[in-house]
Chains A and B, each alone.
Chain A
Amino acid sequence: MTKKNKKGKTSGESDSGLIDITQRKFRWSDYLAEKIIKGVAFLSITIIILIFIFVFRESLPIFASAKSAEHTEAASTSTEVQETYGEVTDQSNVEEVQETYGEVTDQSAVQETYGEVTDTSSTKSPAESYAVSDGSGYDDNQSALKSLASKDWYPVSEKPRFGLYSLIIGTFKITVISILFAAPLAILAALYTASFAGKRLKEIIKPTIEMLAGFPSVVIGFFALMVLATFLQEVFHYDTRLNSFVGGIAMGIAAIPIIFTITEDALTAVPKTFYEASLALGASKWQTAFFVILPAATPGIFAAVLLGIGRVFGETMIALMATGNAAQMGMNPFESVRTLAATIGAEMAEVVFGDTHYNVLFLIGSVLFIFTFVINAIAEFYVKGKLMKRIQGK
Protein backbone atom coordinates (compact mmCIF):
# COMPACT_ATOMS: atom_id res chain seq x y z
CA MET A 1 0.00 0.00 0.00
CA THR A 2 2.40 2.61 1.13
CA LYS A 3 4.87 1.86 -1.59
CA LYS A 4 2.24 2.39 -4.23
CA ASN A 5 1.32 5.65 -2.61
CA LYS A 6 4.85 6.91 -2.71
CA LYS A 7 5.18 6.26 -6.39
CA GLY A 8 1.86 7.86 -7.08
CA LYS A 9 2.58 10.97 -5.11
CA THR A 10 4.13 13.05 -7.82
CA SER A 11 1.69 12.07 -10.53
CA GLY A 12 -1.24 13.46 -8.55
CA GLU A 13 -4.55 12.45 -10.01
CA SER A 14 -5.23 9.48 -12.20
CA ASP A 15 -5.90 9.77 -15.93
CA SER A 16 -9.56 8.91 -15.77
CA GLY A 17 -10.35 12.10 -13.90
CA LEU A 18 -11.97 10.25 -11.08
CA ILE A 19 -10.54 10.57 -7.60
CA ASP A 20 -8.24 7.68 -6.99
CA ILE A 21 -8.54 6.74 -3.34
CA THR A 22 -5.28 4.81 -3.36
CA GLN A 23 -3.39 8.02 -4.00
CA ARG A 24 -2.77 10.50 -1.32
CA LYS A 25 -2.09 14.16 -1.61
CA PHE A 26 1.54 15.03 -1.97
CA ARG A 27 2.75 16.36 1.34
CA TRP A 28 5.87 18.39 1.73
CA SER A 29 6.34 17.47 5.36
CA ASP A 30 6.31 13.80 4.56
CA TYR A 31 8.59 14.20 1.59
CA LEU A 32 11.06 16.29 3.59
CA ALA A 33 11.00 13.89 6.53
CA GLU A 34 11.82 10.99 4.30
CA LYS A 35 14.67 12.81 2.60
CA ILE A 36 16.14 14.00 5.87
CA ILE A 37 15.90 10.56 7.44
CA LYS A 38 17.53 9.03 4.42
CA GLY A 39 20.27 11.61 4.51
CA VAL A 40 21.00 11.02 8.17
CA ALA A 41 21.03 7.29 7.63
CA PHE A 42 23.93 7.70 5.26
CA LEU A 43 25.88 9.37 8.04
CA SER A 44 27.37 6.11 9.26
CA ILE A 45 28.72 5.32 5.81
CA THR A 46 30.04 8.86 5.54
CA ILE A 47 31.79 8.55 8.88
CA ILE A 48 33.57 5.38 7.81
CA ILE A 49 34.77 7.08 4.64
CA LEU A 50 35.82 10.20 6.54
CA ILE A 51 37.72 8.16 9.11
CA PHE A 52 39.56 6.42 6.34
CA ILE A 53 40.36 9.66 4.54
CA PHE A 54 41.43 11.68 7.55
CA VAL A 55 43.46 9.05 9.33
CA PHE A 56 45.21 8.17 6.12
CA ARG A 57 45.68 11.78 5.08
CA GLU A 58 47.73 12.64 8.14
CA SER A 59 50.06 9.76 7.45
CA LEU A 60 50.62 10.67 3.80
CA PRO A 61 53.48 13.16 4.23
CA ILE A 62 55.85 10.28 4.96
CA PHE A 63 55.37 8.96 1.49
CA ALA A 64 54.98 12.25 -0.27
CA SER A 65 58.07 13.88 1.14
CA ALA A 66 60.29 10.97 0.29
CA LYS A 67 60.24 12.24 -3.27
CA SER A 68 61.14 15.79 -2.43
CA ALA A 69 63.87 14.65 -0.13
CA GLU A 70 66.69 15.44 -2.54
CA HIS A 71 66.29 19.17 -2.55
CA THR A 72 66.09 19.43 1.19
CA GLU A 73 69.15 17.34 1.70
CA ALA A 74 71.31 20.44 1.85
CA ALA A 75 69.51 21.66 4.92
CA SER A 76 69.59 18.31 6.55
CA THR A 77 72.47 19.06 8.86
CA SER A 78 70.48 21.34 11.08
CA THR A 79 68.99 19.51 13.99
CA GLU A 80 66.38 21.40 15.88
CA VAL A 81 65.03 18.89 18.24
CA GLN A 82 68.00 18.04 20.37
CA GLU A 83 69.05 21.43 21.63
CA THR A 84 67.20 21.49 24.89
CA TYR A 85 68.33 18.05 25.79
CA GLY A 86 69.22 18.47 29.41
CA GLU A 87 65.98 19.92 30.60
CA VAL A 88 64.18 16.70 31.13
CA THR A 89 65.52 15.97 34.55
CA ASP A 90 64.84 19.43 35.88
CA GLN A 91 61.23 19.28 35.00
CA SER A 92 60.44 15.83 36.12
CA ASN A 93 58.66 17.09 39.20
CA VAL A 94 56.35 19.42 37.37
CA GLU A 95 52.95 17.95 37.19
CA GLU A 96 52.18 17.64 33.61
CA VAL A 97 51.53 14.58 31.61
CA GLN A 98 54.63 14.91 29.51
CA GLU A 99 57.09 15.14 32.31
CA THR A 100 56.02 12.23 34.38
CA TYR A 101 55.80 10.10 31.36
CA GLY A 102 58.78 7.88 31.78
CA GLU A 103 57.30 6.20 34.76
CA VAL A 104 54.95 4.11 32.78
CA THR A 105 57.69 1.61 32.26
CA ASP A 106 60.63 0.31 34.13
CA GLN A 107 62.78 0.07 31.04
CA SER A 108 65.50 2.66 31.10
CA ALA A 109 65.93 2.56 27.35
CA VAL A 110 62.39 3.67 26.87
CA GLN A 111 62.70 6.32 29.46
CA GLU A 112 65.45 7.90 27.50
CA THR A 113 63.44 8.17 24.39
CA TYR A 114 60.49 9.47 26.31
CA GLY A 115 62.54 12.16 27.85
CA GLU A 116 63.32 13.53 24.47
CA VAL A 117 59.71 13.86 23.62
CA THR A 118 59.35 16.20 26.48
CA ASP A 119 61.94 18.52 25.09
CA THR A 120 60.10 19.37 21.97
CA SER A 121 56.88 20.02 23.75
CA SER A 122 58.21 21.73 26.81
CA THR A 123 60.02 24.38 24.79
CA LYS A 124 56.69 25.56 23.52
CA SER A 125 53.52 26.09 25.42
CA PRO A 126 50.97 23.36 24.74
CA ALA A 127 48.77 25.75 22.86
CA GLU A 128 51.58 26.76 20.56
CA SER A 129 52.71 23.28 19.83
CA TYR A 130 49.31 22.49 18.47
CA ALA A 131 49.40 25.27 16.00
CA VAL A 132 53.00 25.08 14.94
CA SER A 133 53.96 22.38 12.59
CA ASP A 134 57.64 22.86 12.19
CA GLY A 135 58.95 21.84 8.85
CA SER A 136 61.79 19.83 10.24
CA GLY A 137 60.23 16.79 8.67
CA TYR A 138 61.67 16.35 5.23
CA ASP A 139 64.98 14.66 5.63
CA ASP A 140 63.63 12.86 8.65
CA ASN A 141 60.83 11.63 6.55
CA GLN A 142 63.02 9.91 4.07
CA SER A 143 65.01 8.06 6.65
CA ALA A 144 61.79 7.44 8.53
CA LEU A 145 60.29 5.71 5.54
CA LYS A 146 63.38 3.54 5.30
CA SER A 147 63.41 2.78 8.99
CA LEU A 148 59.81 1.57 9.07
CA ALA A 149 60.93 -1.94 8.34
CA SER A 150 63.71 -1.91 10.90
CA LYS A 151 63.31 -3.14 14.42
CA ASP A 152 64.17 -0.09 16.51
CA TRP A 153 61.43 2.16 17.75
CA TYR A 154 63.26 5.29 18.86
CA PRO A 155 60.94 7.99 17.58
CA VAL A 156 62.65 10.94 19.24
CA SER A 157 66.29 10.11 19.46
CA GLU A 158 68.93 12.09 17.61
CA LYS A 159 68.39 9.95 14.58
CA PRO A 160 64.75 8.98 14.86
CA ARG A 161 64.03 5.41 13.87
CA PHE A 162 60.49 4.27 13.38
CA GLY A 163 60.89 0.53 13.19
CA LEU A 164 57.41 -0.94 13.32
CA TYR A 165 58.73 -4.47 13.44
CA SER A 166 59.01 -4.77 17.20
CA LEU A 167 55.62 -3.11 17.68
CA ILE A 168 53.99 -5.54 15.28
CA ILE A 169 55.67 -8.50 16.97
CA GLY A 170 54.51 -7.19 20.33
CA THR A 171 50.94 -6.74 19.13
CA PHE A 172 50.78 -10.23 17.68
CA LYS A 173 52.30 -11.74 20.78
CA ILE A 174 49.66 -10.12 22.95
CA THR A 175 46.89 -11.09 20.54
CA VAL A 176 47.96 -14.73 20.48
CA ILE A 177 48.20 -14.94 24.28
CA SER A 178 44.85 -13.31 24.89
CA ILE A 179 43.02 -15.35 22.26
CA LEU A 180 44.56 -18.58 23.57
CA PHE A 181 43.23 -17.58 26.95
CA ALA A 182 39.85 -16.15 26.00
CA ALA A 183 38.64 -18.24 23.06
CA PRO A 184 38.53 -21.70 24.72
CA LEU A 185 36.95 -20.29 27.87
CA ALA A 186 34.34 -18.27 26.04
CA ILE A 187 33.49 -20.96 23.48
CA LEU A 188 33.14 -23.71 26.08
CA ALA A 189 31.07 -21.46 28.31
CA ALA A 190 28.84 -20.62 25.36
CA LEU A 191 28.50 -24.30 24.56
CA TYR A 192 27.46 -24.90 28.14
CA THR A 193 24.82 -22.19 28.16
CA ALA A 194 23.50 -23.23 24.75
CA SER A 195 23.41 -26.99 25.22
CA PHE A 196 23.59 -28.02 28.86
CA ALA A 197 22.52 -25.23 31.15
CA GLY A 198 19.10 -25.19 32.72
CA LYS A 199 16.97 -22.12 32.33
CA ARG A 200 17.78 -20.68 35.73
CA LEU A 201 21.55 -21.10 35.39
CA LYS A 202 21.35 -19.54 31.96
CA GLU A 203 19.72 -16.50 33.46
CA ILE A 204 22.69 -16.11 35.77
CA ILE A 205 25.51 -16.79 33.32
CA LYS A 206 24.36 -14.64 30.44
CA PRO A 207 23.72 -11.37 32.31
CA THR A 208 26.96 -11.81 34.26
CA ILE A 209 28.98 -12.05 31.07
CA GLU A 210 27.00 -9.14 29.64
CA MET A 211 28.10 -7.26 32.74
CA LEU A 212 31.70 -8.07 31.90
CA ALA A 213 31.15 -6.45 28.52
CA GLY A 214 30.18 -3.31 30.40
CA PHE A 215 33.45 -3.12 32.34
CA PRO A 216 35.33 -0.11 30.98
CA SER A 217 38.68 -1.18 29.59
CA VAL A 218 40.45 1.25 31.87
CA VAL A 219 38.95 -0.58 34.85
CA ILE A 220 40.17 -3.93 33.53
CA GLY A 221 43.56 -2.32 32.92
CA PHE A 222 43.60 -0.99 36.46
CA PHE A 223 42.72 -4.40 37.84
CA ALA A 224 45.48 -5.99 35.77
CA LEU A 225 48.01 -3.40 36.88
CA MET A 226 47.19 -3.53 40.57
CA VAL A 227 46.08 -7.07 41.27
CA LEU A 228 46.52 -9.45 38.35
CA ALA A 229 50.15 -8.53 37.71
CA THR A 230 51.15 -9.18 41.30
CA PHE A 231 49.14 -12.36 41.47
CA LEU A 232 50.56 -13.82 38.26
CA GLN A 233 54.07 -12.86 39.25
CA GLU A 234 53.71 -14.76 42.48
CA VAL A 235 52.41 -17.79 40.66
CA PHE A 236 54.85 -17.89 37.76
CA HIS A 237 57.91 -16.18 39.29
CA TYR A 238 59.08 -14.07 36.40
CA ASP A 239 61.18 -10.89 36.54
CA THR A 240 59.32 -8.10 34.84
CA ARG A 241 56.08 -7.42 36.61
CA LEU A 242 54.25 -5.99 33.62
CA ASN A 243 54.66 -8.09 30.52
CA SER A 244 52.85 -9.47 27.52
CA PHE A 245 51.47 -12.34 29.57
CA VAL A 246 49.68 -10.07 32.04
CA GLY A 247 48.54 -7.80 29.22
CA GLY A 248 47.36 -10.76 27.19
CA ILE A 249 45.29 -12.18 30.03
CA ALA A 250 43.77 -8.79 30.78
CA MET A 251 42.87 -8.24 27.14
CA GLY A 252 41.50 -11.76 27.03
CA ILE A 253 39.12 -10.74 29.82
CA ALA A 254 37.99 -7.87 27.64
CA ALA A 255 37.55 -10.16 24.63
CA ILE A 256 35.62 -12.92 26.46
CA PRO A 257 32.18 -11.25 26.31
CA ILE A 258 32.49 -10.60 22.58
CA ILE A 259 33.51 -14.16 21.77
CA PHE A 260 30.93 -15.59 24.18
CA THR A 261 27.99 -13.57 22.88
CA ILE A 262 28.61 -14.22 19.20
CA THR A 263 29.36 -17.92 19.76
CA GLU A 264 26.23 -18.28 21.83
CA ASP A 265 24.18 -16.63 19.10
CA ALA A 266 25.68 -18.95 16.50
CA LEU A 267 25.01 -22.03 18.63
CA THR A 268 21.39 -21.13 19.33
CA ALA A 269 20.88 -20.33 15.65
CA VAL A 270 21.46 -23.99 14.77
CA PRO A 271 17.97 -25.32 14.02
CA LYS A 272 16.27 -27.49 16.59
CA THR A 273 15.80 -30.19 13.97
CA PHE A 274 19.55 -30.86 14.03
CA TYR A 275 19.35 -31.45 17.73
CA GLU A 276 16.26 -33.64 17.53
CA ALA A 277 17.58 -35.70 14.63
CA SER A 278 20.80 -36.38 16.49
CA LEU A 279 19.00 -37.46 19.64
CA ALA A 280 16.63 -39.61 17.63
CA LEU A 281 19.59 -41.44 16.12
CA GLY A 282 20.64 -42.41 19.60
CA ALA A 283 23.34 -39.86 20.29
CA SER A 284 23.62 -38.59 23.81
CA LYS A 285 23.34 -34.98 24.85
CA TRP A 286 27.07 -34.29 24.91
CA GLN A 287 27.62 -36.11 21.62
CA THR A 288 24.98 -33.94 20.03
CA ALA A 289 26.50 -30.82 21.51
CA PHE A 290 30.02 -31.71 20.47
CA PHE A 291 29.58 -33.46 17.14
CA VAL A 292 26.44 -31.81 15.75
CA ILE A 293 25.79 -28.37 17.21
CA LEU A 294 29.39 -27.24 17.52
CA PRO A 295 30.42 -28.17 13.95
CA ALA A 296 27.25 -26.64 12.53
CA ALA A 297 28.11 -23.35 14.18
CA THR A 298 31.82 -23.32 13.28
CA PRO A 299 31.63 -20.35 10.91
CA GLY A 300 29.89 -18.33 13.60
CA ILE A 301 32.51 -19.31 16.15
CA PHE A 302 35.20 -18.39 13.67
CA ALA A 303 33.58 -14.98 13.31
CA ALA A 304 33.46 -14.64 17.09
CA VAL A 305 37.17 -15.36 17.40
CA LEU A 306 37.94 -12.96 14.55
CA LEU A 307 36.04 -10.16 16.24
CA GLY A 308 37.78 -11.03 19.49
CA ILE A 309 41.11 -10.65 17.71
CA GLY A 310 39.96 -7.31 16.34
CA ARG A 311 39.09 -6.15 19.84
CA VAL A 312 42.45 -7.18 21.29
CA PHE A 313 44.39 -5.78 18.35
CA GLY A 314 43.02 -2.30 18.83
CA GLU A 315 42.76 -2.26 22.62
CA THR A 316 44.64 0.74 23.94
CA MET A 317 44.07 1.38 27.61
CA ILE A 318 44.80 -2.16 28.83
CA ALA A 319 47.90 -2.26 26.66
CA LEU A 320 49.06 1.06 28.07
CA MET A 321 48.54 -0.03 31.65
CA ALA A 322 49.48 -3.70 31.78
CA THR A 323 52.05 -4.60 29.14
CA GLY A 324 55.07 -2.67 30.34
CA ASN A 325 55.30 -0.65 27.13
CA ALA A 326 58.85 -1.51 26.14
CA ALA A 327 59.44 -2.26 22.50
CA GLN A 328 61.19 -5.62 22.65
CA MET A 329 61.64 -8.25 20.05
CA GLY A 330 61.89 -11.52 21.93
CA MET A 331 59.33 -14.28 21.86
CA ASN A 332 59.38 -14.75 25.62
CA PRO A 333 55.84 -14.12 26.92
CA PHE A 334 57.21 -12.78 30.20
CA GLU A 335 58.93 -9.81 28.61
CA SER A 336 57.46 -6.36 28.36
CA VAL A 337 56.04 -5.47 24.99
CA ARG A 338 54.64 -2.45 23.28
CA THR A 339 51.63 -2.70 21.01
CA LEU A 340 50.72 -0.58 18.01
CA ALA A 341 47.63 0.91 19.64
CA ALA A 342 49.45 1.68 22.89
CA THR A 343 52.17 3.48 20.95
CA ILE A 344 49.61 5.82 19.46
CA GLY A 345 47.95 6.36 22.81
CA ALA A 346 51.18 7.02 24.64
CA GLU A 347 52.94 9.26 22.18
CA MET A 348 50.31 11.18 20.26
CA ALA A 349 49.74 13.71 23.03
CA GLU A 350 53.42 14.62 23.03
CA VAL A 351 54.31 14.92 19.38
CA VAL A 352 54.50 18.14 17.43
CA PHE A 353 51.79 18.47 14.82
CA GLY A 354 53.03 17.75 11.34
CA ASP A 355 56.22 16.13 12.61
CA THR A 356 57.40 12.86 11.12
CA HIS A 357 56.67 11.14 14.37
CA TYR A 358 53.10 12.48 14.17
CA ASN A 359 52.74 11.12 10.65
CA VAL A 360 54.12 7.73 11.60
CA LEU A 361 51.61 7.46 14.44
CA PHE A 362 48.82 8.16 11.97
CA LEU A 363 50.32 5.54 9.69
CA ILE A 364 50.06 3.04 12.54
CA GLY A 365 46.46 4.18 12.97
CA SER A 366 45.77 3.48 9.30
CA VAL A 367 47.24 0.00 9.68
CA LEU A 368 45.00 -0.68 12.69
CA PHE A 369 41.97 0.69 10.89
CA ILE A 370 42.53 -1.38 7.76
CA PHE A 371 43.21 -4.49 9.80
CA THR A 372 40.00 -4.25 11.82
CA PHE A 373 38.01 -3.26 8.75
CA VAL A 374 39.20 -6.36 6.89
CA ILE A 375 38.57 -8.60 9.90
CA ASN A 376 35.04 -7.27 10.21
CA ALA A 377 34.41 -7.67 6.49
CA ILE A 378 35.56 -11.31 6.61
CA ALA A 379 33.42 -12.00 9.66
CA GLU A 380 30.48 -10.33 7.98
CA PHE A 381 30.42 -11.69 4.45
CA TYR A 382 32.41 -14.87 4.25
CA VAL A 383 31.33 -16.36 7.53
CA LYS A 384 27.69 -15.38 7.35
CA GLY A 385 27.34 -16.74 3.84
CA LYS A 386 28.85 -20.02 4.92
CA LEU A 387 26.78 -20.27 8.06
CA MET A 388 23.53 -19.68 6.22
CA LYS A 389 24.45 -22.23 3.59
CA ARG A 390 25.28 -24.87 6.14
CA ILE A 391 22.22 -24.36 8.27
CA GLN A 392 19.78 -24.15 5.40
CA GLY A 393 21.46 -27.10 3.74
CA LYS A 394 21.99 -25.47 0.39
Chain B
Amino acid sequence: MTAWKAFRGGLWDEIPVLRLMLGLCPTMAVTTSVKGGLTMGLSVVFVLICSNVVVSMMRNLLKPHLRIMMFTLTIAAFVTIADMYLKAFQPVMSEKLGAYIPLIIVNCIIICRSEACAAKNGIWVSAVDGLAMGLGFTIVLCFLASIREILSTGCITFSETAVWTVLNPVDKGGWFTPWAAMAMPVGAFITLGLTLGAVNQLTKKKA
Protein backbone atom coordinates (compact mmCIF):
# COMPACT_ATOMS: atom_id res chain seq x y z
CA MET B 1 0.00 0.00 0.00
CA THR B 2 1.28 3.48 -0.84
CA ALA B 3 0.71 6.61 1.24
CA TRP B 4 -1.38 8.14 -1.57
CA LYS B 5 -3.60 5.06 -1.79
CA ALA B 6 -4.05 5.15 1.99
CA PHE B 7 -4.90 8.84 1.87
CA ARG B 8 -7.42 8.47 -0.96
CA GLY B 9 -8.89 5.39 0.72
CA GLY B 10 -9.62 7.19 3.97
CA LEU B 11 -11.22 10.16 2.31
CA TRP B 12 -13.35 8.38 -0.30
CA ASP B 13 -12.74 4.78 -1.43
CA GLU B 14 -12.94 3.39 2.12
CA ILE B 15 -14.44 6.34 3.98
CA PRO B 16 -15.35 4.70 7.31
CA VAL B 17 -19.00 5.54 7.91
CA LEU B 18 -20.28 5.67 4.34
CA ARG B 19 -18.30 2.89 2.61
CA LEU B 20 -17.02 0.55 5.33
CA MET B 21 -20.09 1.07 7.57
CA LEU B 22 -17.82 1.36 10.60
CA GLY B 23 -18.16 3.77 13.53
CA LEU B 24 -21.94 3.99 13.24
CA CYS B 25 -22.65 4.19 17.01
CA PRO B 26 -20.81 7.48 17.63
CA THR B 27 -22.09 8.72 14.29
CA MET B 28 -25.66 8.31 15.52
CA ALA B 29 -24.98 9.59 19.01
CA VAL B 30 -22.84 12.70 18.66
CA THR B 31 -24.13 14.28 15.46
CA THR B 32 -26.72 16.45 17.25
CA SER B 33 -24.32 19.40 16.97
CA VAL B 34 -21.45 20.28 14.62
CA LYS B 35 -19.21 21.18 17.55
CA GLY B 36 -19.81 17.77 19.13
CA GLY B 37 -19.16 15.99 15.83
CA LEU B 38 -15.98 17.97 15.24
CA THR B 39 -14.65 17.26 18.74
CA MET B 40 -15.39 13.55 18.40
CA GLY B 41 -13.84 13.48 14.91
CA LEU B 42 -10.62 15.20 15.99
CA SER B 43 -10.33 12.90 19.01
CA VAL B 44 -10.61 9.91 16.66
CA VAL B 45 -7.97 11.46 14.34
CA PHE B 46 -5.56 11.73 17.29
CA VAL B 47 -6.20 8.18 18.49
CA LEU B 48 -6.03 6.72 14.96
CA ILE B 49 -2.70 8.37 14.10
CA CYS B 50 -1.08 7.49 17.45
CA SER B 51 -2.34 3.91 17.59
CA ASN B 52 -1.48 3.26 13.91
CA VAL B 53 2.06 4.56 14.41
CA VAL B 54 2.63 2.50 17.59
CA VAL B 55 1.12 -0.67 16.10
CA SER B 56 3.22 -0.21 12.96
CA MET B 57 6.38 0.17 15.09
CA MET B 58 5.70 -3.08 16.93
CA ARG B 59 4.29 -5.03 13.95
CA ASN B 60 7.28 -7.36 13.63
CA LEU B 61 7.16 -8.24 17.33
CA LEU B 62 3.43 -9.04 17.50
CA LYS B 63 2.50 -12.63 18.33
CA PRO B 64 -0.77 -13.75 16.71
CA HIS B 65 -2.47 -14.65 20.00
CA LEU B 66 -1.52 -11.30 21.61
CA ARG B 67 -2.40 -9.17 18.60
CA ILE B 68 -5.87 -7.98 19.66
CA MET B 69 -4.75 -7.47 23.26
CA MET B 70 -1.86 -5.26 22.12
CA PHE B 71 -4.15 -3.26 19.83
CA THR B 72 -6.65 -2.72 22.65
CA LEU B 73 -3.95 -1.71 25.12
CA THR B 74 -2.49 0.81 22.67
CA ILE B 75 -5.86 2.27 21.69
CA ALA B 76 -7.08 2.45 25.31
CA ALA B 77 -3.99 4.42 26.36
CA PHE B 78 -4.44 7.06 23.67
CA VAL B 79 -8.20 7.29 24.20
CA THR B 80 -7.63 7.89 27.92
CA ILE B 81 -5.16 10.66 27.07
CA ALA B 82 -7.68 12.24 24.67
CA ASP B 83 -10.41 11.96 27.32
CA MET B 84 -8.22 13.60 29.99
CA TYR B 85 -7.22 16.38 27.59
CA LEU B 86 -10.86 17.17 26.82
CA LYS B 87 -11.77 17.12 30.52
CA ALA B 88 -8.94 19.57 31.23
CA PHE B 89 -9.24 21.97 28.30
CA GLN B 90 -12.71 21.42 26.81
CA PRO B 91 -14.79 20.53 29.89
CA VAL B 92 -18.11 21.55 28.35
CA MET B 93 -17.62 19.39 25.26
CA SER B 94 -16.28 16.56 27.41
CA GLU B 95 -19.49 16.57 29.43
CA LYS B 96 -21.65 16.89 26.34
CA LEU B 97 -20.01 13.89 24.65
CA GLY B 98 -20.18 11.95 27.92
CA ALA B 99 -19.37 8.27 27.56
CA TYR B 100 -18.78 8.45 23.81
CA ILE B 101 -15.16 9.64 24.14
CA PRO B 102 -14.09 6.68 26.36
CA LEU B 103 -16.10 4.46 24.00
CA ILE B 104 -13.67 5.31 21.17
CA ILE B 105 -11.72 2.36 22.62
CA VAL B 106 -14.28 0.02 21.09
CA ASN B 107 -14.69 2.03 17.89
CA CYS B 108 -14.42 -0.48 15.05
CA ILE B 109 -12.61 1.95 12.75
CA ILE B 110 -9.55 2.12 14.96
CA ILE B 111 -9.11 -1.58 15.60
CA CYS B 112 -9.89 -2.26 11.92
CA ARG B 113 -7.11 0.10 10.77
CA SER B 114 -4.66 -1.40 13.27
CA GLU B 115 -5.37 -4.85 11.86
CA ALA B 116 -5.83 -4.02 8.17
CA CYS B 117 -3.15 -1.37 7.71
CA ALA B 118 -0.81 -0.62 10.64
CA ALA B 119 0.06 -4.26 11.37
CA LYS B 120 1.16 -4.75 7.74
CA ASN B 121 2.69 -1.42 6.71
CA GLY B 122 5.44 1.00 7.66
CA ILE B 123 5.11 3.98 9.99
CA TRP B 124 4.63 6.61 7.25
CA VAL B 125 1.84 4.76 5.44
CA SER B 126 0.15 3.89 8.77
CA ALA B 127 0.26 7.51 9.93
CA VAL B 128 -1.21 8.73 6.62
CA ASP B 129 -3.88 6.02 6.80
CA GLY B 130 -4.78 7.11 10.36
CA LEU B 131 -4.94 10.75 9.33
CA ALA B 132 -7.06 10.10 6.24
CA MET B 133 -9.44 7.68 7.96
CA GLY B 134 -9.84 10.11 10.86
CA LEU B 135 -10.44 13.05 8.56
CA GLY B 136 -12.94 11.03 6.52
CA PHE B 137 -14.78 10.14 9.71
CA THR B 138 -14.68 13.79 10.90
CA ILE B 139 -16.01 15.11 7.59
CA VAL B 140 -18.95 12.69 7.65
CA LEU B 141 -19.74 13.53 11.30
CA CYS B 142 -19.68 17.26 10.57
CA PHE B 143 -21.81 16.83 7.44
CA LEU B 144 -24.48 14.80 9.24
CA ALA B 145 -24.32 17.05 12.32
CA SER B 146 -24.77 20.20 10.25
CA ILE B 147 -27.96 18.81 8.64
CA ARG B 148 -29.35 17.66 12.00
CA GLU B 149 -28.42 20.83 13.90
CA ILE B 150 -29.81 23.16 11.24
CA LEU B 151 -33.10 21.28 11.02
CA SER B 152 -33.44 20.83 14.80
CA THR B 153 -32.51 24.38 15.85
CA GLY B 154 -32.34 26.49 12.69
CA CYS B 155 -28.72 27.42 13.34
CA ILE B 156 -25.23 26.06 13.96
CA THR B 157 -23.81 26.99 17.35
CA PHE B 158 -20.03 27.13 17.72
CA SER B 159 -20.04 29.06 21.02
CA GLU B 160 -22.40 31.34 22.96
CA THR B 161 -21.32 34.27 20.80
CA ALA B 162 -20.68 32.48 17.50
CA VAL B 163 -24.01 31.29 16.18
CA TRP B 164 -24.61 30.91 12.44
CA THR B 165 -28.33 31.24 11.79
CA VAL B 166 -29.27 29.35 8.64
CA LEU B 167 -33.05 29.03 8.99
CA ASN B 168 -34.44 31.86 11.13
CA PRO B 169 -36.20 29.97 13.95
CA VAL B 170 -39.59 30.98 15.42
CA ASP B 171 -38.17 31.53 18.92
CA LYS B 172 -35.89 34.24 17.50
CA GLY B 173 -38.75 35.94 15.65
CA GLY B 174 -38.26 34.06 12.39
CA TRP B 175 -40.40 31.69 10.34
CA PHE B 176 -38.80 28.26 10.79
CA THR B 177 -40.31 25.82 13.27
CA PRO B 178 -37.43 23.57 14.42
CA TRP B 179 -37.88 19.82 13.92
CA ALA B 180 -37.22 18.41 17.39
CA ALA B 181 -37.12 14.88 15.92
CA MET B 182 -33.88 15.68 14.10
CA ALA B 183 -32.08 15.97 17.45
CA MET B 184 -33.33 12.53 18.44
CA PRO B 185 -32.21 9.07 17.28
CA VAL B 186 -34.87 9.06 14.56
CA GLY B 187 -33.19 12.13 13.04
CA ALA B 188 -29.85 10.32 13.05
CA PHE B 189 -31.31 7.29 11.28
CA ILE B 190 -33.09 9.39 8.64
CA THR B 191 -30.07 11.61 7.93
CA LEU B 192 -27.62 8.71 7.79
CA GLY B 193 -29.99 6.58 5.70
CA LEU B 194 -30.54 9.30 3.11
CA THR B 195 -26.81 10.09 2.99
CA LEU B 196 -25.93 6.40 2.52
CA GLY B 197 -28.54 6.15 -0.23
CA ALA B 198 -27.08 9.18 -2.00
CA VAL B 199 -23.52 7.82 -1.73
CA ASN B 200 -24.61 4.41 -3.01
CA GLN B 201 -26.35 6.08 -5.92
CA LEU B 202 -23.22 8.09 -6.71
CA THR B 203 -20.93 5.09 -6.61
CA LYS B 204 -23.26 2.57 -8.23
CA LYS B 205 -21.40 0.64 -10.90
CA LYS B 206 -23.14 0.39 -14.22
CA ALA B 207 -23.78 -3.13 -15.47
The reply to whether chain A is a binding partner of chain B is no
Spell out B's residues near A (CB within 8 Å): none
